[in-house]
A and B are shown apart, each in its own frame.
Chain A
Amino acid sequence: MSSEPLLSVRGVHRRFRTGPTVVHALRGVSFDVAAGSMVALVGRSGSGKTTLLNVIGGLDRPDAGTVHVDGTDVTALDEDGLSRLRREKVSYVFQSFGLIPVLSAAENVAAPLRMARVAPIERERRVELLLELIGLADHARQRPAELSGGQQQRVAIARALAASPQLLLADEPTGQLDAETGLSVMALLRGIVESEGVTVLVSTHDAVMMALADRVIGIHDGHLDEQAAGPPYAPAPDAG
């Protein structure tokens, strides 16, 4: 890990107005995440996890505070700057996969590379590598509807990794999966942190996920409530 944090969140406030009611989703949230680590964001429904991820990824703008990703102030970027940020540095994994149904698994993984206008040969090589990484090389030509939920989420993770982002934001990636499949997806994310050096910030209710994280950050009513994650993650002796 480098000494400079990859992600720096400072004094972020976010309020939502629903009719006469104002909901404080984030109240002065500040924290840093070091590069190459896996951080679990935990909290009850409505605690502000997704809002925080959205603010970090530039999908939402905070009312106050700053977010820096690899030294770039996300909150100061215009739409084109945010688009560039998402192409180059930040990627997402959603609960509902979000794959393009008419494209094969390989073509879905290649989508960000097309967006970044990566040369075809390089694109194919990268896709092949990622499908190998997620264990779906044999399913490259299959469409999402022909894959199980876990396989679809794996493809979504591979797609998120395609453009070699520095930060991967995963919003409850196992929410639609059964426990066993969810565990395999979590293990995959953990493996990716190890093998790709990507920084992963994942919101979850899953205790197993928390156990796999280097660090657990709790959110309660918009406040940060960092807590010990038990013993830090240690790879199994036979893990590569």
Chain B
Amino acid sequence: MTIELGHFALVLAFAVALVQGTVPLLGAARRDPVLTGIAPYAAVAQFLLVSFALAALVQAYVTSDFSVRNVFENSHSSKPLFYKVTGTWGNHEGSLVLWVWILTLFGAGVAVFGRRLPPTFLARVLAMQGLIAVGFLAFMLLTSNAYLRLDPAPADGRGLNPILQDPGLALHPPFLYLGYVGFSTAYSFAMAALLEGRVDPSWARWLRPWVLVAWLFLTVGIALGSWWAYYELGWGGWWFWDPVENSSFMPWLVGTALLHSAIVLEKRNALKSWTILLAILTFALSLLGTFLVRSGVLTSVHAFATDPGRGVFILGLLVVAVGGSLTLFAIRAPAMQGGSLFAPISREGALVLNNLLLSTATATVLLGTLYPLALEALTGAKISVGPPYFNATFVPLMIPLLLALPIGTMLSWKRGDLPGVVSRLKFAVAASALVAAGYLALFDWRGVLAAFGYALAAWLVVGSLLELAGRIALFRIPIGRSWSRFKGLPRSALGMTTAHVGLGIFIIGVTATTSGQIERILVMNAGDTTTLAGYEVIFKGVTERRGPNYIAERGTFEARRDGELVAEIHSERRFYPVEGQTTTEAGIDTTLWRDLYFVIGDKVGDEGARTVRLYFNPLVVWLWGGLVVMAIGGLVSLSDRRLRVGAPVPARMRAAAAGG
């Protein structure tokens, strides 16, 4: 019964979305406060209805109601409770419910936190959110309904793909969706601004918190996905340039560009149409990602069941959303008056460079992702574009970006003083040179690329800290006064420094893992010993272990250093009888400085010998740590008072608002 109510709630939500997507637009055009006024209520009502529908589906999973087709196909009664809950979004239909739920969550968020926005603008933003919801609810109800019954009800379910039965997966989709579905707000804000015909610094200030929220969740979501791939797939790598990874990475890149261009618009009233375009493109790329993952054009861990009908439907949504917005953009953008002027060497100029590099990089990723699909459609030739392509195109574009970053943050608005900035950065130059020379002298005199990577990281970290030190005049005025200046700094400045330091930490992790990973593949008998990066690795053999819904062969390793036990590491091969699948669990011992990452493989011969794969991954946690620090930077920036609409309104305007 609950599942029917959930289904019904979704249909109602669809009806509400139709109203939300049309009536407020009409109201805004006619300046009718009654019609615009329903938008926030509709947004909240829609959120509540979809929440109920999601809860009904989760309940069906928790109680293992196999009369629901979606539960039957993707769950099993023997699955641990945690994975019953998270399995709700481990399949196409269920994850779509989560997708729409997050869409309506953002809609309701804008309705609640945006009460001080101009009423017609708010109505138009919410109408856009409503129209997106109309598209996706229709998609769900017509092609991907999770609320259908099976009659007769089967006794038990088919189970969930075991590689998805993992805590990393439990969190990865929600975070990822909070990220790229969150960019729907950027799209709606851009569309509303085009409809209003008004793009100004306050628009950028309204937009920024929503872009920041989406961006920081997407950062965490991508980090979680990468971490999951690292420990679950057993290949010891953290990023594979898989088309599906790319489809979450492209919105991140453009979203990052958007965050930066919105600053220029907010502070200097420049880059208006560019910012609007980025806001549209960010969500367009999110939709493209959704299409690639769900249409079956890709084969990947992420690609859900193949069904051409669904692909066509999402492609249609994509065409309408992107085509409609770009048409509106083409009509309205030329009318927007140009922003203020700036010299090429200025903060604005640096941010423009940031934007150009990020968008060009996105274009190379997009090309590498779509080229094989296009080529196959046109000529039938099947090709794959792998990491070598991306390493050769993406990385060279990122290097100038990272080199310019500390300089850009120190340039002043409008007209910057490059020699002055360079002289302020002399410590950062010295630090980078020292790091590079130290690495070459102490670790590896041939590792020029690695030395360059570490130098780049030092440049970023020291350069960002110098910028902060400059703001608080550290060591130039008494330390107590520096401290009070520090406390008085806007949160957005602290957030920027934090995020840029996080980027530096990330680069350290990437450099270390790329240049310093040691991989050994060999066959080991129980009792065999080998060495790996100064560690003595002893294979103790394989035992059997029974898990809640699997049987595992558990290989035990000991890692010793100078005869002393450092860690006992277990790697498992788990057989899931319900699904008839085997998964490999890598055994990982993590410290701040290195991961020991051991995997057992197939039996070789009858004596219990095993293929084993041993990795030494230096500083690999720094990579995800850096991403988390970046997200924290976003969070700090989000807490900036200026971003709260209404907080610093001048008295004159407040009176006007109260009067109107």
* A and B interact: no
